[in-house]
A and B are shown apart, each in its own frame.
Chain A
Amino acid sequence: MKLNRLKAIAVKEVLQIVRDPRSLMLALLLPVMQILLLGYGVTLDVTNLPVCVYDAEGSQDSQALLKHFQASRYFTVVQVSPSVRQVIAGLDRGSCNLAIVIPADFSRTLAMGGRAELQAIVDGTDSNTATLASGYAEGVVAGYSGDVQLQWLAAHGQTASANAPLTLQSRVWYNEDLESRNFIIPGIVALIMALVGAQLTSLTISREWERGTMELLVSTPVTPMEVMLGKLMPYFVIGLLDAAICLCFAVFWFQVPFRGTLFTLFFITSLFLVVVLGLGYLISVAIRSQLGASQIALLVTLLPTNLLSGMAFPIDQMPAPIRAITYLVYGRYYVTSLKAIFLKGAGIAELIVPIAIMCAYASAVAWLASRSFKKKLV
């Protein structure tokens, strides 16, 4: 490998990038758009869930209960219907996700000191929202029930024994407010980097084929290794810039707590870039037509990084065979590392496993890529 030949290839590639300013702009601006769109869009927090109510009684007690729902930040009562039919129609249309049915003898039962049973119908289509919503609804009702009991005890001249035997003291570590944004945004940064990297490089070789410049490249006295490194270096710099932009947005715009060190962050990011860029290069070498290259690039990056990397869906909850597949998803290691660096302040020592695996990936991809590029015209 000769440095001046390497430089020549790199300079050629830089010129090609610079003279296509539209693509360069895309490469630098799109990550910003992405992080803004996704950063706000990806939230699992349930707030202001629309609630329909069938209040068969319309008493003071049932009104007080509804006020509890209205006051909760998780629910918004959007409709109080005169019949169960209408409540169910609301669920069918999707205009509400939760329906509360208050029985006709609600206040009478309470006045007698009995157990009044409310019914909640939750739209199970979105099972996660449904699970969270029914938990919150139970909390609201328990709160109301406690109020009713205190009033009853006070009315009957008792004040004591209202406290529950067991109290829960919960503490949450690393993400104290349990904001889904804090856990998802580091993953989003990883996702964007995977996309940028694959997109940047996977067309570099197939472009040469389709434009007919491959003959020139093959006839120049450069080794395949020099072609690869020369072509990838400029993109590596763009990738690092993109990473810096995304991370700045995560920390300063979205206020995700950053507890790690910049050194760890950039070390891991560089390693990850080597993997994605190398993989993109490998794809573009392996596949001649650009349509094919793009379909493969899409296949191995977009959805797997979204769904199998642990960005949003917890890997430890997946069945064992799928968990095994996630080990192949290189994005997984970057996602885990970024989350640990951001929220737990992890350093190189804690991240030694993902680092080792990414190193193995990087060398395997580099080896394969440099081997697969043959200087032949067939």
Chain B
Amino acid sequence: MFARVWPLVLKELQELRRDRYAVIRMVVPPVLQLLIFGYAATFEVYHVSTAVLDQDHSQESRELLARFTSSTRFVITETAHTDRDIADAIENNDAVVGLVIHAGFAQDLRNGQSAPLQVVVDGTNSNTALISLGYVGQIANRFSSDYAMDLANRTAPLKLAALPQVTLQTRAFYNPNLDGKWFFVPGIIGTLMMMMIVNLTAFAIVREREVGTLEQIMVTPIRSYEFILGKTIPSFLIGMVEAAVIGVVGVLWFRVPFVGSLPLLLLGTVLFLLSATALGLLLSTLARTQQQAFASNFFVLNPLFILSGFAFPIAGMPAALRWFADINPTRYYLVVIRATFLKNVGFEALWPNFAAMAAIGGVLLAVSIWRFRKTLE
């Protein structure tokens, strides 16, 4: 069997070598994309453009606004004079957040009444809006409790000392500064590999068919599964090289820590490449022309990417889509790659992901051998 598979593997690699641009096409774009997307994929919110309207002009209002100015989360881009200015600033995209302090703010505070701070947020980008609102809340809460403490100390110093309070101290494991790059760079590495490998293999069989060389191969004494295997091994090898290149770039350039076990990552990569290659081959047996292969892999890749947990948490999806995500090999690979980069967990925590990728890869390979046999008849 090996004697018949090996020449096919050599032929594939030879074909690749003859294509002058193939290597450039396969190495440069992923590295370039990794570099760009590593910076682009971020949900962190800093320097939110903010318009402020202070009609109170009191020490208190100035102090409250100073807390916004000194925060890295907000940048005051506009000082408004009327409510209309705030509305305009948000409508014209000059500001995402508008802060309004009306006259009588300090008076209310001193009288022990609730003084309102009005916030207007552009909700177009709901995530940015949510996070900015969270930061506004934090600053307001801190101002509020400082003011209350201050007031209580002046009026009745003893009473406050005995007011129960529950506070929350939050620590983040695995990514202590909640750096988005630590989350996204491993994800981009996995995603890029998926894209390149599925796209590469999706053409493997249909190209031979369209060019007419499939008949030539089929008259040789090679068996269907040997043919499929011979197509799988080259893209698997290419995938390993690509994984190494972009993995190293990711770690060295973005300084994402790699704290886990390299053998586990390797095992995960092998299983993932197996399932990605098998998926590509299946698409290739399903298509009759290269155009069909191209169209279908375009439309398969996008859901695979979006429903992989790359950016959008799978836990938040409806049940039917979670089921779809369960048969997506990328999803398991992203868990493995993120866990080995950031978490330093062992085999016992990751084995369900390995098992799932192996099962998906096995089933897809079996189906593509079956499909391939059928189309030959």
Contact = CB atoms under 8 A, between A and B. Distances in A.
A312 interface: yes
A175 B168 contact: no
B123 interface: yes
A231 to B, nearest CB: 14
A52 B304 CA distance: 30
A322 B168 CA distance: 37
Contacts of B249: none
Contacts of B117: 166-169
Nearest to A303: B33
Interface stretch (B220-228, B293-301, B362-370): B293-301
Interface in A46-102: 46-50, 65, 88, 91-94, 97
Interface in A134-156: 134-135, 137-139, 141-142, 144-145, 148-149, 152-153
Contacts of B147: 165-166
Nearest to A287: B21
Interface string B208-233: 00110000000000000000000000
A164 B294 CA distance: 61
Interface in B144-165: 144-145, 147-148, 151, 161-165
A289 to B, nearest CB: 8
A34 B299 contact: yes
B324 interface: yes
Given A93-B345, A127-B179, A113 B173 contact: no
Contact of B39 (A110, A293, A299, A319): A319
B317 to A, nearest CB: 6
Nearest to B308: A41
Contacts of A152: 163-164
A191 interface: yes
B179 A41 contact: no
A38 B303 contact: yes
A174 B296 contact: no
Interface stretch (B4-12, B124-132, B269-277): B124-132
Interface stretch (A22-30, A238-246, A263-271, A367-375): A22-30
Interface stretch (A4-12, A114-122, A222-230): A114-122
B173 A121 contact: yes
A173 B192 CA distance: 37
B176 A299 contact: no
Given A131-B131, A174-B124, A145 B335 contact: no
B312 A44 contact: yes
Contacts of A163: 113-114
Contacts of A298: 195, 199, 298, 301
B178 A124 contact: yes
Contacts of B171: 119-122
Nearest to B316: A43
A152 B121 CA distance: 36
Interface stretch (A178-186, A247-255, A357-365): A178-186
B115 A167 contact: yes
A295 B25 contact: yes
Given A195-B302, A318-B42, A137 B168 contact: yes
Interface string A284-300: 00000111111111110
Contacts of A176: 123
B58 interface: no
A195 B125 contact: no
Nearest to B161: A113
A173 B169 CA distance: 32
B290 interface: yes
Contacts, number: 382
Contact of A303 (B145, B166, B191): B191
Interface in A318-377: 318-319, 321-322, 325-326, 339-340, 343-344
A176 B313 CA distance: 22
A306 to B, nearest CB: 7
Contacts of A92: 343, 345, 349
B126 A183 contact: yes
Among B90, B147, B163, residue most surrounded by chain A Cβ atoms (within 10 Å)? B163
A7 B133 CA distance: 57
Interface in B1-38: 19, 21, 25-26, 29, 33, 36-37
Contact of A127 (B133, B180, B296, B298): B180
A171 B119 contact: yes
A49 B183 CA distance: 18
B339 interface: yes
B302 to A, nearest CB: 6
A212 to B, nearest CB: 11
Given A41-B306, A314-B125, A125 B183 contact: yes
Given A42-B306, A115-B164, A307-B41, A343 B124 contact: yes
Contacts of B148: 164-165
Contacts of B318: 40
Nearest to A76: B315
- Which of B33, B130, B296 counts the most A-chain CB atoms under 10 A from its CB? B130
B203 interface: yes
A110 B180 contact: no
Interface in A275-290: 289-290
Contact of A161 (B25, B112, B166, B345): B112
A153 B162 CA distance: 10
A319 B121 CA distance: 23
Contacts of A167: 114-117
A294, A303, A308 pick with most chain B CB within 10 angstroms:
A303
A132 interface: yes
Contacts of B37: 303, 307-308
Contacts of B90: 173
B108 to A, nearest CB: 8
B109 A322 contact: no
B210 to A, nearest CB: 7
A371 to B, nearest CB: 22
A219 interface: no
A138 B168 contact: yes
A203 interface: yes
Nearest to B183: A127
7 contacts: A114-B162, A118-B167, A124-B173, A164-B114, A166-B140, A203-B291, A317-B128
Interface of A: 22-23, 26-27, 30, 33-34, 37-38, 40-50, 65, 88, 91-94, 97, 109-132, 134-135, 137-139, 141-142, 144-145, 148-149, 152-153, 161, 163-176, 178-180, 182-183, 191, 195, 198-199, 202-203, 207, 210, 289-299, 302-303, 306-308, 312-314, 316-319, 321-322, 325-326, 339-340, 343-344
Q: Which 9 A-B pairs have the closest CB atoms?
A: A124-B175, A175-B123, A124-B172, A113-B162, A128-B43, A166-B144, A145-B166, A172-B123, A170-B119
